[in-house]
Amino acid sequence: MPQQCPHCMSEIHAEATTCPSCGAQRGILKPGWSAERWRGAAQIMFIGAGLAALIGLALGYSAATSSWQVNWGVGFFMFMLLSPFMLLFGIAGLVMRRFIPRMQESWFR
Ligand SMILES: [Zn+2]
């Protein structure tokens, strides 16, 4: 079923992502950002969260074992330094994956 461009009122194919007559772009929150694209960006955020966790683990482990006495308290503290990044990337990824793709698409010009 064809739909109408809200900007120029011309009919567009239901699957079209760009209006052929005025160039308006379909998207969620941002022009050209389909649900698929948001999910792809979410993957990158999850990779960022995973990287932050890995760096935190490496940092924590090396801090814990660097002195003559293994100190897991220091290691845990160093690991926690990275936790804001894990949280930030994790929450951003979750929002981009679970909430934004369910929002209404609109046309941008
Ligand atoms: Zn249009």
Token pair for residue 104?
């209404």
Q: pLDDT band for position 68 (50/70/90)?
A: confident
With 90 as the cut, is the pLDDT of residue 5 above it? Answer: yes
Distance 4 CA to ligand 1 centre (A): 8
With 80 as the cut, is the pLDDT of residue 1 above it? Answer: no
Query: Crossing angle, helix 83-94 and helix 72-81, to 10 degrees?
Result: 40
- pLDDT digit string, tens, across residues 11-66: 999 889 999 999 999 999 999 999 999 999 999 999 999 999 999 999 999 999 98
Q: pLDDT band for position 69 (50/70/90)?
A: confident
Helix, strand, coil percentages for the chain (3-state, nearest 5): 55, 10, 35
Distance 102 CA to ligand 1 centre (A): 24
Distance 101 CA to ligand 1 centre (A): 23
The pTM of this model reads 0.83
